[in-house]
A and B are shown apart, each in its own frame.
Chain A
Amino acid sequence: MNLVGQIVLILCILGAVLFFAKEIRLRYRLVKLGAKGPQRWDRPVERLGYAVGRVGAQICSIKDRPLVGIMHAFIFYGFIFFAVATINHVTRAFAPEFSLWGHGLFNNLWFLGVDIIAILTSIGAVFLFVRRYIFKPEPITKPWPFSRSPQSAIVLGFIFGLMVTYLLNQGADMILTGKSFAAWMPFSHAASTLLTGMSIPSLQIWNAVFWWAHILMVLGFLVLIPHSKHLHLIAGPINIFFRTREPDGTLQKIDFENTEEFGVTNVNQFQWKNIMDFFSCVDCGRCQDVCPAYASDKPLSPKVVMMSMRKHILHEADHLISGQDVSEPVMDKWQTPDEIWACTTCGACMETCPVKNEHIQTIIELRRGQMMMENKFPQELEPAFRGLETNSNPWNLGMSERATWTEGLDVPIMTEKGEAEYLWFVGCSGSFDDRGKNISHAMAKILNAAGVDYAILGTEEKCCGDPARRAGNEYLFQMMAEENVATFKQHKFKKILTSCPHCYQVIKNEYSQFEGEFEVVHHTELIAGLLDQGKIKLSPNGDGKMTFHDSCYLGRYNDIYEAPRKIMKAMSNGNLAEMVHSKNKSFCCGGGGARMFMEESIGTRINHLRVEEAEQVGAETIGVACPFCLTMLDDGVKEKGIEASLQVKDIAQLVAEQLV
């Protein structure tokens, strides 16, 4: 290449790289400016291994969308190969004979690899283009205006163009240099056949055009990356490295002593990791696809939360970098109350997200800001908060009545018994709600039949605090948590037994933030164990088909999938069907995230959608393992008027009915 060409090339590269660096630096600074939070440098080797494995093998992308994932993998590997190949490409402007790998067998193999990858990548790019712009699947094209930007078309065009210009450039080179690598570069060779018959001068011109087009597209891509969702190329793997190692959905503690700002009202109050999440989002819509709020026509899409916050923080970038106040709060322009209060904290979004975003923490931070800083929250929550404050239960029923459900039953109280293997934390539903009490009655029957050594706290028990925490009232939650931890510590027991997965999650994974480390067992685990040990026996009655509805907080949050299934199998004579969404893909009942205590006035009802799934598999019984699920699904069945053909019961109730 002549000197002018070389200078132009160097200037182009410098310009693009500088622009890229400037934009990346801006985003890095925005993340650094985020509020402090857990630093997430613990177990670096494990983290690195996980990130490399997940990205390297493209599990992130393939696991929930195999075909699309494989196409994405082609492009991913193309990107890796071409990142190196571009070095060869550029150096040829200065030293035409240079090759990174010399000129031996390895070099030949390398070029063979690049040739094949170039074709696969082209296939990937065409596939994704057709999918996005012709088939227009909802998760990536809706809601407008967050999706369907032309950026993806440009990027996919670049990727395809890169491959084509590479092959044509190599093909032209083959003819011009007379060196045929047909065996090692079959596709470049095929491209060269398109060019045969051209005169040498015009071939030389075309060769230069291909070469320049290739490098300019590489640089164009570099310029585009920071500005688009393609930032995930860089941010994604880093975000996976910094993923939470706690169960998804476990919320962080607010240190009320040392902060004046609770939650997020302004975008600069987000923690650095939340901001990393915003920059990592790929706009793939996997989260939106599985979100029960979105599926039931609520205005919430976890994808939009991420993308909108990214837009918002970039919009405020100048203010933030120069240390000024933000120009506007997050609410109600960048997020609306109807969005943030629609979340059931089911965790389906986090489970599927390829870059491991933590949507729930972001949404709850916004709820916290609204609840604690602005005193704004759905009105229906007020009685629940008052109830928790005054009577330690969200229904505000007299706290002295907490143990009246035990009347006529033989249920020992801790203060009287003194010591027990299991401290049974009955929970508010189990103590006060009629349907919840049925679970408690059944559980007491099972525990007594199996001779389990247990006791309850009686009136000493207080709500675990889950509804308060999920509703953003962290202050109230901490009051309940501290009181319960103190009560637990006064008693002698080995394990805590819960019938409610929300109590389970909070006591097991969140009370540790209040110096309460307890071994917690859910009643499905205990019952499965009792069956195994032969301490209880069942006589399956009837042959109706059953199905099991995974509670989000038991399944996705705490990976308990097998224990309830084992019991369900034993009870159903094997006549157990799985609904279309099950296990880690389970579909929420609609009651989590304090939604249990709010009206569901927008869109369709989540519990109806789930009940319909049970109907589809022809179930006559839905087994549940959570009092909220029981209430929501039972309401769903009754509202649909199908209670004659479909019953909803907690596993404990079903077991108690079949006890021999």
Chain B
Amino acid sequence: MKIAVCLKQVPDTEANIKIASDQKSIDESAIKFIVNPYDEYAIEEALKLKESQGAESVIAITLGPDRAKDALRTAVAMGVDDVVLLKTSANSSDALSAAKSLAAKIKETGAEMILLGKEAIDDGSMQVGPMLSELLNIPCITVVTKLEVNGSSVKAEREIEGGVEVLQTTMPCIITCQKGLNEPRFPSIRGVMMAKKKQISEEAVELDDAKLAVSSLSYPQSRSEGKIVGEGTEAVPELIRLLREEAKVI
């Protein structure tokens, strides 16, 4: 069995995001990029499956600009065997064209288990997993919090509103990973050093059939400051009045 992990490089959760002058992209100059946290669950699950099921290898695939190699290095440091960068020349927000490139590559690798994060924290569109399912014509279970693989049969738990749903399928299949699935390992220093020297293969891809384009980005409305209405019990009537009349929550 081969396992493929699709991952995305995204801005660090703590990064101070600034919109670039074109108003359509973000200014990347002062930003640290990381592996999309949900994709880390996918990497960890792949490595665990490799250990428990004796899978042949784990390959990590990413689509992005040159800097995305760093994300692949992190995957190598964690223990992934092979990596490939599908190098794009321009940023794209079109999930379908991205999924097509990924699907072509996945097919080539012959992977039977395809893992990815439930969403990327940058655009959060949650589309690529289901799209891959369609393109590869294999089942997809999304937002998985527990995964059991036995031979070729797959059992996955996913959290649904007010409960847990257990789904069953057989490989090949696609799993999108949710927090709680596992605790991603900390890359060992030896892994990090090895990853630094690793040759990363890259293949240029063109996303020219993109049918979605960003027309503009804007900042969220800044939160208005909190208000202190008073102290002790005498402040309660005023608080209730504000909650009722201004905030309209009660």
**Which residues on A are within 8 Å of B, measured CB to CB?**
256, 262, 371-373, 375, 382, 385-386, 390-391, 396-401, 459, 473, 475-476
Closest B residue to A385 by beta carbon equals B186
**Which residues on B are within 8 Å of A, measured CB to CB?**
12, 14-16, 30, 32, 34, 185-186, 188-190, 192-193
Bound together, the chains give a CA A459 to CA B29 distance in angstroms of 13
B188 touches A375 (CB 8 A): yes
* B12 proximity list for chain A (CB < 8 A): 390-391, 398
B189 touches A396 (CB 8 A): no
Give the Cβ gap from B185 to chain A, nearest Cβ, in Å: 8
B189 touches A475 (CB 8 A): yes
A390 touches B193 (CB 8 A): no
A262 touches B16 (CB 8 A): no
Give the Cβ gap from B13 to chain A, nearest Cβ, in Å: 9
Closest A residue to B16 by beta carbon equals A400
B190 touches A398 (CB 8 A): no
A256 touches B193 (CB 8 A): yes
Give the Cβ gap from B139 to chain A, nearest Cβ, in Å: 34
Contacts A/B (CB < 8 Å), 28 sampled: A262-B190, A371-B189, A373-B190, A375-B186, A375-B188, A375-B189, A375-B190, A382-B186, A386-B186, A390-B14, A390-B32, A390-B34, A391-B12, A396-B14, A398-B14, A398-B15, A398-B16, A399-B14, A399-B32, A400-B15, A400-B16, A400-B30, A401-B14, A401-B16, A459-B30, A473-B189, A475-B192, A475-B193
Closest B residue to A474 by beta carbon equals B189
Give the Cβ gap from B65 to chain A, nearest Cβ, in Å: 19
* A396 proximity list for chain B (CB < 8 A): 14
* A399 proximity list for chain B (CB < 8 A): 14, 32
Bound together, the chains give a CA A371 to CA B34 distance in angstroms of 22
Give the Cβ gap from A204 to chain B, nearest Cβ, in Å: 74
Can you add 16 more A-B contacts, CB < 8 Å, to A262-B189, A391-B14, A476-B189? Answer: A262-B190, A372-B188, A375-B185, A375-B189, A382-B186, A390-B12, A390-B32, A390-B34, A391-B12, A397-B14, A398-B15, A399-B14, A400-B16, A401-B14, A401-B16, A459-B30
* A391 proximity list for chain B (CB < 8 A): 12, 14, 32
Interface centre among B15, B30, B186, B188 (most CB of A within 10 A): B186
Q: Which 7 residue pairs of A and B lie closest in terms of their CB atoms, listed nearest first? A: A398-B14, A375-B188, A400-B16, A372-B189, A475-B189, A382-B186, A390-B32
Instruction: Kindly identify which residue among B14, B15, B16, B190 contacts A372, using a CB–CB cutoff of 8 Å.
Output: B190
Closest B residue to A395 by beta carbon equals B14
* A373 proximity list for chain B (CB < 8 A): 189-190
Bound together, the chains give a CA A476 to CA B192 distance in angstroms of 10
Interface class of chain B by DSSP: loop
Give the Cβ gap from B175 to chain A, nearest Cβ, in Å: 25
Bound together, the chains give a CA A476 to CA B15 distance in angstroms of 21
Bound together, the chains give a CA A373 to CA B185 distance in angstroms of 15
Bound together, the chains give a CA A391 to CA B11 distance in angstroms of 12
Bound together, the chains give a CA A400 to CA B185 distance in angstroms of 27
* B34 proximity list for chain A (CB < 8 A): 390
Give the Cβ gap from A109 to chain B, nearest Cβ, in Å: 65
Interface centre among A397, A473, A475, A476 (most CB of B within 10 A): A475
Bound together, the chains give a CA A386 to CA B188 distance in angstroms of 12
Give the Cβ gap from B184 to chain A, nearest Cβ, in Å: 10
* B14 proximity list for chain A (CB < 8 A): 390-391, 396-399, 401
Bound together, the chains give a CA A382 to CA B188 distance in angstroms of 11
Give the Cβ gap from B131 to chain A, nearest Cβ, in Å: 30
Give the Cβ gap from A86 to chain B, nearest Cβ, in Å: 55
* B30 proximity list for chain A (CB < 8 A): 400, 459
* B188 proximity list for chain A (CB < 8 A): 372, 375
Bound together, the chains give a CA A399 to CA B193 distance in angstroms of 24
Closest B residue to A398 by beta carbon equals B14
Bound together, the chains give a CA A385 to CA B74 distance in angstroms of 14
Bound together, the chains give a CA A475 to CA B189 distance in angstroms of 7
* A371 proximity list for chain B (CB < 8 A): 189
Closest B residue to A262 by beta carbon equals B189
* B32 proximity list for chain A (CB < 8 A): 390-391, 399
Bound together, the chains give a CA A129 to CA B167 distance in angstroms of 75
Bound together, the chains give a CA A459 to CA B186 distance in angstroms of 26
Bound together, the chains give a CA A400 to CA B18 distance in angstroms of 11
Closest A residue to B32 by beta carbon equals A390
Closest B residue to A479 by beta carbon equals B192
Closest B residue to A382 by beta carbon equals B186
Give the Cβ gap from A336 to chain B, nearest Cβ, in Å: 21
Bound together, the chains give a CA A377 to CA B63 distance in angstroms of 33
* A375 proximity list for chain B (CB < 8 A): 185-186, 188-190
Closest B residue to A476 by beta carbon equals B189
Give the Cβ gap from B235 to chain A, nearest Cβ, in Å: 26
Closest A residue to B34 by beta carbon equals A390
Bound together, the chains give a CA A16 to CA B33 distance in angstroms of 69
Give the Cβ gap from A234 to chain B, nearest Cβ, in Å: 39
Closest A residue to B188 by beta carbon equals A375
Bound together, the chains give a CA A372 to CA B188 distance in angstroms of 6
Closest A residue to B187 by beta carbon equals A375
Bound together, the chains give a CA A390 to CA B33 distance in angstroms of 8
Give the Cβ gap from B45 to chain A, nearest Cβ, in Å: 18
Bound together, the chains give a CA A299 to CA B188 distance in angstroms of 27
* B16 proximity list for chain A (CB < 8 A): 398, 400-401
